[in-house]
Structure 1
Amino acid sequence: MNVIDILARLIAFPSVVGTPNGAIADWIGDYCREAGAEVTVHPGPEGDRCNLFATIGPPEGRGYILSGHMDVVPAGEREWSSDPFVLRAAGDRLYGRGATDMKGFLACALAALPKLAAMNLRQPIHLAFSYDEEAGSRGVPHLIAALPTLCNAPLGAIIGEPSRMQAVRGHKGKAAVRLEVIGRSGHSSRPDLGLNAIHAMANLITEVAEYGRSLTSGPFHHDFAPPYSSLQVGVISGGQSVNIIPDRCTADIEVRAVPGISPSSLLEPVKARLMALRDQGFEVGWHELSAYPGLALPEDSGLAALLTGLTGQEPLAAVSYGTEAGLYQQAGIDSIICGPGDIARAHRPDEYIEIGELAACQTMIEKLGASLAEG
């Protein structure tokens, strides 16, 4: 199968984040075994989702990980020009949910696998495909924890998120939480007898937003845009009817931190403000939704030099979006981002990847294999 045929098969699996992914994992596993790879399916604690790990080449050696995620964001937007789970070709563009983020990279790795199998590799190449990355990288920590049982210490990990095939050495860390305020319900004609959770949350959010604005004063890391850490309130929910005092309100908040700043530490002032509402008679809840560390690969690292040779371009210092790379680095594995497509096309209707981008990525992976082959 060529890379386009493989991508069409992957797109056809509606592997939306937070849903069972056995079908796509089974297909990938069967394909890898037919190509000669050793495959391990690693179930997650959810029971209906799994990571997949495949090795081509001598398993006792130290090699490189090609990392990607099998899940995609939902595709419910009306603006899609065709079925998002049926690959559509138009000129050099291939349209479908996940074409860029990031089934394009998975397709390239799988398309390269038969050629890698024929190279008589001296060191292995591993495929590490995770689940629920789009929900805050929930699947890959379980895979990373299992790596000592799956392979010898890797030399590095290439995370194939869309980067227009230019390697990237850094990204911000992120943490997201849900704030919950619980008051006391009642008839809206007697606000003095209730505790309005929405009003309390509104005041809290005003304070939190002001705190978020203070982050623009630094510390700064000028490889990023914006060059400072940031905070956003993304979702608010509460209330039943205009004539009922709302007894519950929630707000989802995220922070993105520049290197050297812990994302969780940025949330501590938010937590303190939430807890202060208990003095006003409210109950409160603090629910962690997701978190991942930033990535900061040194400019003079061997992995950065390797990617320069494979792509013919010097790596970028940083991007503003996040990936699983920081988690690999946190586990002691040098990591870098490099994949086909453009992040600007992701998470939107008519997501697409270009045929030339797929070809360039497959070539990069095959060149990696050639650098590890005998002779």
Structure 2
Amino acid sequence: MDVAALTRDLVSIPSHDDETAAGDFIEDWLRAETDADVTRDTVGNVIARYGEADTLALVGHHDVVPPDESQTDGDEYVIETTENRLYGRGAADMKGAVAAAMLAFRDTPEDGLVFASFVGEELGGIGARHAIDEGFAPDFAVVGEGSTGYATAGVTDVVVAHKGRRASTVTAHGTAVHASEPESGENAVYRACDAVDLIRDIDPPSATVLDERVSGSLAVTGIEGGSAWNVVPESCAITVDERTVPGERAPLGTVEDIEGVEWEIDQDLPPMACDDEAFAETVRTVADECQDGDPELVTKPAATDGGWLAAADVTCVVCGPSELGEAHTKDESVSLAALDRCYRIYAEIVDAVGEN
């Protein structure tokens, strides 16, 4: 079975509401195709390993975001294969990389090699966090999220850092009164606007990882308040999207210096930074040998399970077939050439890490 065929099999299995069937397929395939120790934990993660020591892990996830109507036919996912690409929900994010990692894991049965496909990545890293809590801590990890076309179109690069995401809500409280006498109350919308002005003046932090610059961002993405046109509002909430960088966060807590304003973190997906330049260069060298282009060490704008692993002191890079702009789209697809390339990269990384 080649990587395109295995990707097609994986993509055909719906896994946006329930990852069980996709996990079953991966588990059964690994048991049939390898002599590895294959386990399925209580949340549904599939983890396989050769030997006792966890030296290098090939990491992915088999859940996907809900499909567009055009990507389903009843209860089945619609898949289309052209000469160069495979289309379907999860092809890019990230069942193609999972398939490439499964085949590389089968074909390079070295002691210390681990394969892991997690659940719940799209819901905040549920599977990765559970695995880490249960002791999953390889020395090195290659996370198969997208890194193709970041520096040069058609070239699979190596991500050494990515942003995290901190989502939060700022709530302003006031005193409701009739709008004909606004001076007798406290307008929560005005207080919320003061908080917006403060947030707008915050300079998001930046960081440098292995000479690559990662810049954070900060944006107010929603505002809601008020109950009627003739009532001064007693409450107003704003939502804030912060893209975080390794080592520093924007001082959003300063909004609580405004009277009647409180700040609450709703989600905090950690950023990733590779802490071992030699490992990053090893992976880049392997990627260079497996393709005609010149891969570079790059940064990625979106969070991955690599953030949770890096926070647990696992040395990580991200390297995968998906290109920018493919994930979560109604015409999501993956390059067949990139799938083959990533299979070779993953297999060669096993040998390269073993030599070092």
Q: 1:190 to 1:136 in 2, by over 3 A?
A: farther
SS, match of residue 277 in structure 1: coil
Tell whether 2:292 aligns with 1:292: no
Mapped partners of 2:140, 2:186: distance in 1: 54
Once superposed, which parts of structure 1, at least 4 consecutive aligned residues long, lie more than 6 Å away?
218-222
Structure 2 length as normaliser, TM-score?
Answer: 0.81
Tell whether 2:15 aligns with 1:15: yes
SS, match of residue 224 in structure 2: strand
Mapped partners of 1:139, 1:247: distance in 2: 40
Structure 2 contact 54–138 (Cα < 8 Å) conserved: yes
The equivalent of 1:179 in structure 2 is 170
SS, match of residue 367 in structure 1: helix
Tell whether 2:188 aligns with 1:197: yes
Mapped partners of 1:62, 1:356: distance in 2: 30
Mapped partners of 2:42, 2:257: distance in 1: 37
Where do residues 161-310 of structure 1 align in structure 2 (5 Å cutoff)? Answer: 161-164=145-148, 165-185=156-176, 188-189=179-180, 191-192=182-183, 195-211=186-202, 214-215=203-204, 223-224=212-213, 228-259=215-246, 261-263=247-249, 266=250, 268=251, 270-274=252-256, 276-278=258-260, 284-299=262-277, 301-310=278-287
Tell whether 2:125 aligns with 1:137: yes
SS, match of residue 73 in structure 1: coil
Amino acid in the other structure paired with 2:118? S
Render the CA deviation track for 1:299-343: whole Å, top value 9, x for unaligned. Answer: 3x1353144125425541433333222332332221111111202
Q: 1:155 to 1:85 in 2, by over 3 A?
A: same
Higher mean Cα deviation, 94-103 or 308-317? 308-317
Mapped partners of 1:240, 1:4: distance in 2: 54
Structure 1 contact 183–197 (Cα < 8 Å) conserved: yes
The equivalent of 1:47 in structure 2 is none
The equivalent of 1:38 in structure 2 is 37
C-alpha displacement of 1:146: 1.9
Aligned-pair Cα RMSD in Å: 3.2
Structure 2 contact 71–77 (Cα < 8 Å) conserved: no
C-alpha displacement of 1:136: 3.7
Mapped partners of 2:105, 2:207: distance in 1: 44
C-alpha displacement of 1:109: 1.8
Q: 1:311 to 1:177 in 2, by over 3 A?
A: same
Mapped partners of 1:339, 1:185: distance in 2: 53
Structure 1 contact 196–247 (Cα < 8 Å) conserved: yes
Structure 1 contact 232–255 (Cα < 8 Å) conserved: yes
Q: 1:271 to 1:296 in 2, by over 3 A?
A: same
C-alpha displacement of 1:234: 2.3
Mapped partners of 1:198, 1:90: distance in 2: 53
Q: Which runs of 5+ in 1 are unaligned?
A: 45-49
Mapped partners of 1:342, 1:89: distance in 2: 17
Where do residues 111-130 of structure 1 align in structure 2 (5 Å cutoff)? Answer: 111-116=103-108, 121-130=109-118
Aligned match for 2:48, one of 49, 54, 61: 54
Higher mean Cα deviation, 26-35 or 238-247? 238-247
Mapped partners of 1:307, 1:127: distance in 2: 20
Mapped partners of 1:294, 1:43: distance in 2: 26
Q: 1:219 to 1:2 in 2, by over 3 A?
A: closer
C-alpha displacement of 1:207: 1.7
Structure 1 contact 158–335 (Cα < 8 Å) conserved: yes
The equivalent of 1:333 in structure 2 is 314
Work out the percentage of aligned pairs sharing the same amino acid.
27
Mapped partners of 2:127, 2:54: distance in 1: 23
Q: 1:88 to 1:366 in 2, by over 3 A?
A: same
Mapped partners of 1:215, 1:306: distance in 2: 30
Higher mean Cα deviation, 82-91 or 343-352? 82-91
Mapped partners of 1:271, 1:373: distance in 2: 46
SS, match of residue 201 in structure 2: helix
Amino acid in the other structure paired with 2:248? S
Where do residues 100-115 of structure 1 align in structure 2 (5 Å cutoff)? Answer: 100-115=92-107
C-alpha displacement of 1:203: 2.4
Mapped partners of 1:237, 1:24: distance in 2: 39
C-alpha displacement of 1:239: 4.0
Q: 1:9 to 1:197 in 2, by over 3 A?
A: farther
Question: Aligned pair count?
Answer: 340
